[in-house]
Structure formats: structure tokens, C-alpha cells
Amino acid sequence: MSGVFADVQALVEELGRTVVSEYASDVDEKARFPSEAFEAFKANKLLSAYVPEKFGGHGLSISELCKLCEILGAYCASTAMIYAMHQIQVACLVHHGQTSSWFQQYLRDLVEKQFLLASATTELGVGGDLRSSVCAIEKNGDSFVLNKQAPVISYALDADAILVTCRAHADAPASDQVHVLVKKEDCSFAEIAGWDTLGFRGTCSSGYELKSKGHCDQIIPAPFVDILAQTMHPVSHLTWGSLWTGLASDSVHRARQAVRHAHKRNPNAPPVSSLRLSEVDEQLFSMRSGLYREIEEYKTLLAEGNPDAFSNFGFSIRTNNVKLRCSEMLVDIVGRALMIVGIMGYKNDSPLSLGRHIRDAYGAAIMVNNDRIRGHNATMQIAMRERS
Ligand SMILES: Cc1cc2nc3c(=O)[nH]c(=O)nc-3n(C[C@H](O)[C@H](O)[C@H](O)COP(=O)(O)OP(=O)(O)OC[C@H]3O[C@@H](n4cnc5c(N)ncnc54)[C@H](O)[C@@H]3O)c2cc1C
């Protein structure tokens, strides 16, 4: 662990315990943006944690970034999800924008001004299929116009810029896509769907008819198919898996507190629930082990710098497996923790409440629907020749 990271990790732990935790219930109840947490992150330059040091960022590795998401997930999954979603977009710029002087300067500005980045990939007509777009960028000389019917854009109104997928030109097929950064000041938002959900309420993921314009330099200079395979797909599943692991670990922590209270009440016999606690901790161990293994694999591939390695079926399937396993184990773990804590976990106003945890947990499998992901895995399983 680098000295820089030790300091950043300690700082994020401290912010998690204080400002993130303090406002988590209010953010959830009011389905509002966690502004207090993000003010603190910006003040401590945490939005540029993954930006290389040469542009002024912390230059953290993917494993270090995932650790921060895991820490935050234990305190407020909405805050952690927004942090993760922002870092996914930052990673797209860091990995694919550096050949452009415009994006080099944008990264410097992001460090200085702590811009928050959102994402609009989902679209009316294609749903969660990231590899298809209906909308197309319309270029006119050096400038462009881009309009998208986006049924879900998290924290759109609190972001400084949105990265939008679209077809590369009016005649391009649905899969010939580019990834474009549009600045908030160049956008208009007409709400087409609200965000009164079970969980992840603080992500404020309403839907909008997004109208935007900008300079053609704002198109990331790489085809979206490469950005997705090399960055967006792995970084999404690894950062999400990390924050879900944090959420699961806090559920187990609450279960442990309940078992310890029961043991104190009757110190002569271990409570029955201690066996259940051991079982749920095994589940958490498995969830974390698969996740950490894939984070290391991705880190190694990034260090090797061979872009073809990311389209290997084995790597894609394992990345999808992180999303599938973590999202489904999360529901299982929080449910088991609830059985251990009992009524004090079922109550919304108890210090051991698991109400928010269980509602957030159910969002994980539908955020890019698991059936869609399993469908991709099924196709690759048939085509794959090597042992998994
Ligand atoms: C908390 C949260 C935040 C989000 N934030 C954003 C954001 O900031 N930006 C953004 O763009 N999106 C965002 N999304 C949307 C998300 O990324 C997915 O695109 C969206 O959840 C998919 O919605 P869907 O279920 O309508 O669509 P689909 O994925 O299209 O699924 C619809 C149904 O069709 C089935 N299905 C579809 N295709 C297949 C297939 N190939 N194989 C098998 N079954 C299939 C699925 O089982 C499912 O039942 C967010 C979602 C959540 C939950």
C-alpha cells in the first residue's frame, strides 16, 4: 500500500464514519443528493482520486479506488454508488482521453474544480443494452448537437458534466457509437420520469429528455466499443461489487452486534444466532474473495497494456460473474443478517435497522439487469474453448 493511499484511505474512513453516516438516513428518506458528503469529498480532492499525478490527481490504482468504494458502501450505499459512477466516467477519460489535448486539460480542470461526472447510456427504445443507441450526434463544422431520451440519469442535476453514448452520425448503425462529454451549462433537462424507488434513493436517478451542444473535441477519441470493453464494463462491475461488499459487510457487522448483545445477556451459553453469524460471514468471505480476485486480474491487464486482452471471453465472463454473484449474494447476506438481528433489524428507527440495507440490496441485480448479463455469459460460454 502506497503512503498516499494510506492517507486517502484513513480520510475516507473518517468521512464515512462522520459526514456520510450522519446524513445517510436523511438522504434515503428524502431521496435527495448527498450534498454534505460530496462537499467534503470535493474539499479533500477525492473526486480526482483516479486521475494520474501528472494532471494533479492522487493517481490511485483500480484496487485502491475499489477499496474506497467498499469503505463508503458500509456507510451509505447511495453516496458510494454516486462516487463509483463518477469514478467510472473518470476512468473512461483517463484510459481513453489522454491522446487529446482537450481531455488532458479537462482532467487538469477536473482536479482543480472537482467536477462531478454523470452518465447517460440507458435510452428509451434500447433499455439497458449499452451497445445500442437510438440517438445520434449531429455535427456542424466544429460543433455538435446531441439529444437523448434518457430514462435514468443518476444525479444529473448535481453533476458538472454528463458522458453520453450515441450513434457516431445520423446514418450510423445502432452499434457504431461514440462517447461524448457534455457540460451542464450546455444542457437542458426536461424530466420524463421521477425517482421514488425502494432503494438507492439518494442517487436521484430521474429520467430526462436531454438536449445538449458542444465542440467536437468533446467526443472521446476512441470508439465506444473499446471504451466499454477496456474500461466501462470492468470498472463498473468492480466498483459496484466493491460498494455492495461494503453494504454487505455493514449488515454482517450489525448482525454481529446483535449476537454480542445476546451473548452479554446470557454469557453461559453461546446464542443460537452465533452459528448463523458464522454462516453469513462465510458468505461475505466468498463475495469478497471473487471480487478481489477479479480486481487483481484487471489491475494486471491494465499494467500489461494489451488492449486485446480485455475482449477475451474468459475475462468478460469473470467480470460479469462479479456483478452477478455480488448482486445476488448481497440480497442473501442482508436477508440472513436480518434473521439474526430480528425485530431490531426490521424496525426503521433502531440503531441496528437493516431497512435501508435491504432496499438498496435489491437494486443491485436490476442495475443492468442480471438476466441480460447472464444472457451475454451464456453466449460466450458456448463459444469459449478454454477451461474457466
Ligand atoms: C440505482 C440505479 C442507477 C442508475 N443510474 C444510471 C445512470 O446514471 N445512467 C444510465 O444510463 N443508466 C442508469 N441506470 C440504469 C441501468 O444502468 C440499466 O440500464 C437499467 O436498470 C436497465 O433497465 P431495464 O430493466 O428497463 O432494462 P433492461 O436491461 O433492458 O431489462 C428489461 C427486462 O428485459 C430483460 N432482458 C433484456 N434484455 C435481455 C437479454 N439480452 N437477455 C435476457 N433478458 C433480457 C431483463 O431480464 C429485464 O427483465 C441506473 C439503474 C439503477 C438501478
- Is there a single domain that holds both residue 190 and residue 250? no
- Is there a single domain that holds both residue 144 and residue 155? yes
pLDDT for 288-312, tens place per residue?
999 999 999 999 999 999 989 998 9
Whether 1 has a pLDDT exceeding 60, the answer reads: no
pLDDT tier at 270 (50, 70, 90 boundaries)?
Answer: confident
The alpha carbon of 368 and the centre of ligand 1 are apart by a number of angstroms equal to: 4
Which residues face 330 on adjacent strands? Answer: none
50 domain residue, yes or no: yes
The alpha carbon of 370 and the centre of ligand 1 are apart by a number of angstroms equal to: 9
358 domain residue, yes or no: yes
40 domain residue, yes or no: yes
- Is there a single domain that holds both residue 124 and residue 72? no
313 domain residue, yes or no: yes
pLDDT at 251: 98
Identify whether the C-beta of residue 256 lies closer than 8 Å to the C-beta of residue 24: no
End-of-domain residue from the set 218, 246, 279: 218
**What ligand 1 atom has the least distance to the C-alpha of 130?**
19
Residue where the block lists cell 440519469: 153
Q: Which residue among 369, 371, 373, 381 is best mutated to probe the pocket of ligand 1, counting the most ligand atoms within 8 A of its Cβ?
A: 369
pLDDT for 128-139, tens place per residue?
899 999 999 999
The alpha carbon of 80 and the centre of ligand 1 are apart by a number of angstroms equal to: 19
- Is there a single domain that holds both residue 370 and residue 297? yes
Does the CB atom of residue 151 touch ligand 1 within 6 A?
no
- Residue 71: closest CA among 242, 292, 312: 242
End-of-domain residue from the set 197, 218, 239: 218
- Average pLDDT, integer, range 94-114: 98
- Is there a single domain that holds both residue 151 and residue 257? no
Identify whether the C-beta of residue 144 lies closer than 8 Å to the C-beta of residue 216: yes
Q: Which amino acid is at 339?
A: M
CB crowding 85-112: b at 16 or more within 10 Å, else e:
bbbbbbbbbbbbbeebeebeebbbebbe
- Is there a single domain that holds both residue 265 and residue 372? yes
For residue 249, give its domain range. Answer: 224-383
pLDDT tier at 225 (50, 70, 90 boundaries)?
Answer: very high
- Is there a single domain that holds both residue 237 and residue 377? yes
- Average pLDDT, integer, range 143-171: 98
CA distance 271 to 264: 10
The alpha carbon of 369 and the centre of ligand 1 are apart by a number of angstroms equal to: 5
Q: Which amino acid is at 14?
A: E
388 domain residue, yes or no: no
Q: How buried is residue 157: exposed, middle or buried, by Cβ count under 10 Å (0-12/13-18/19+)?
A: middle
Whether 2 has a pLDDT exceeding 90, the answer reads: no
End-of-domain residue from the set 98, 116, 134: 116
CA distance 111 to 113: 6
**Sign, Cα dihedral of 131, 362, 239, 105:** positive
Q: How many domains does the chain have?
A: 3
**Sign, Cα dihedral of 328, 19, 118, 83:** negative
- Whole-number mean pLDDT of the chain? 97
Output the domain CATH number for residue 324: 1.20.140.10
pLDDT for 208-223, tens place per residue?
999 999 999 999 999 9
